[in-house]
Amino acid sequence: MARTPLISGNWKMNLNHFEAIQLLQKLSYELRDHDYDAVEVSLHPPYTDVRSVQTVIDADRMQFQLGAQNCHAEVSGAFTGEISPAMLAKLDVNYVIVGHSERRALFGENNEMVAAKAAAVFGHEMTPIVCVGESLEERESGQAEAIVETQVRGSLASIAAEKLEELVIAYEPVWAIGTGVTASSEDAQEMCSHIRNIVGSMRKGAQQSVRIQYGGSVKPSNVVELMAMADVDGALVGGASLEAESFARIVNYKAA
């Protein structure tokens, strides 16, 4: 089955809404219509920028998918400071990152919380990008595969089985995020294939359509090699997505 690659820009806690629009316009200028033929591109600005980015995408008929970086699992209620999946859906958000390692490490999110968020995102007709990945210590002690398996099974536990076919998973080894150190393409391939098999064991056939991104210091110089791997269906890009030219070159990896 042909899986359309998904290249996602995770802007993290960067750019106010004016800066976000500037980046969006520069990025759109760097890309041509045919650049979107073979890949899907999603942009994940901070919450305060989502409405502005959505308005510009809409008005200029840009071909980006709108994304968010997180959401709460509940639709509404007394959750001061949180954003509901229903609010994101209303802004035409298509993809929501859940369980990013920064959320797991800095904001105490566990697999159960990530599972509830992923199910809520699907419940609002959006697609979750569920992040998993081992730490350096876990890799060095030979536990990477087991840790990732626990994360995948735990973080997908609340998703209806048929939804596994539409899911996006991002494999992001913690030691590769924001460090400039990328996993070798072979290591990325091995883990993405492992994840695909786990999804297949949860629902027969879902392994063929689930998309698995690699994330962690993806740059124009390593994207081609990573994307050449059979089980790598895209990239979740942090640092390099904040610069229009470098992100455009990542989106355009097929032209390299």
Interface positions with ligand PGA (CB under 6 A): 10, 172, 177-178, 215-218, 236-240
Grouping H, G, I as helix, E, B as strand and the rest as coil, residue 103 is helix
* CA neighbor of 244 nearest in space, from 1, 5, 4, 35: 35
Q: Diameter of the chain by CA atoms?
A: 51
Of 40, 44, 100, 138, the catalytic one is 100
Among residues 24 and 237, whose Cβ is nearest to ligand PGA? 237
What distance in Å separates the CA atoms of residue 19 and residue 198, rounded to the nearest whole number? 40
Minimum CB distance to ligand PGA, residue 205 (Å): 28
Q: Which segments within the chain are labelled E, that is strand?
A: 6-10, 40-44, 65-68, 95-98, 127-132, 168-171, 211-215, 234-237
Minimum CB distance to ligand PGA, residue 143 (Å): 21
Instruction: Determine the residue type at 42.
Output: S
Minimum CB distance to ligand PGA, residue 59 (Å): 28
Minimum CB distance to ligand PGA, residue 16 (Å): 19
Closest-approach residue to ligand PGA (CB): 238
Active site residue 100: yes
Q: Is 243 left (phi over 0), alpha (psi -120 to 50) or beta?
A: beta
Among residues 177 and 198, whose Cβ is nearest to ligand PGA? 177
Among residues 49 and 172, whose Cβ is nearest to ligand PGA? 172
Among residues 206 and 248, whose Cβ is nearest to ligand PGA? 248
Q: List the catalytic residues.
A: 100, 172
